[in-house]
């Protein structure tokens, strides 16, 4: 969906603000930790194909996490 003009203006102000910060600062603000149920409960997972991964997400992850 195409964003509205006001939304684009707001985003541009945020991009302008980001341009005044260093990469180091931007990364400090951008990477956060929030526990994600199921997804974070195993030390590792591997999937033969992306289709297999997506199917696993659909079957196992709560919808609100946005993985499907």
Distance set, CA 23 to CA 11, 28, 31, 60, 62 (Å): 18, 9, 12, 35, 33
CB of 52 to another protein, least distance (A): 8
Q: What gap in Å lies between CA 23 and CA 8, rounded to an integer?
A: 23
- Could you say whether residue 33 binds another protein (CB under 8 A)? yes
- Could you say whether residue 59 binds another protein (CB under 8 A)? no
Residues that bind another protein (CB under 8 A): 1-3, 8, 11-12, 14-15, 17-24, 26-34, 36, 39-40, 42-50, 52-54, 57, 63, 65-68
């Amino acid at each position: 969906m195409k964003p509205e003009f006001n939304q684009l203006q707001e985003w541009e102000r945020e991009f302008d603000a980001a341009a005044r910060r260093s990469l180091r600062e931007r990364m400090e603000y951008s990477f956060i930790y929030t526990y994600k149920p199921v997804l974070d409960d195993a030390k590792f997972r591997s999937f033969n194909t992306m289709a297999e991964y997506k199917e696993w997400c659909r079957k196992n992850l709560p919808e609100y996490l946005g993985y499907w």
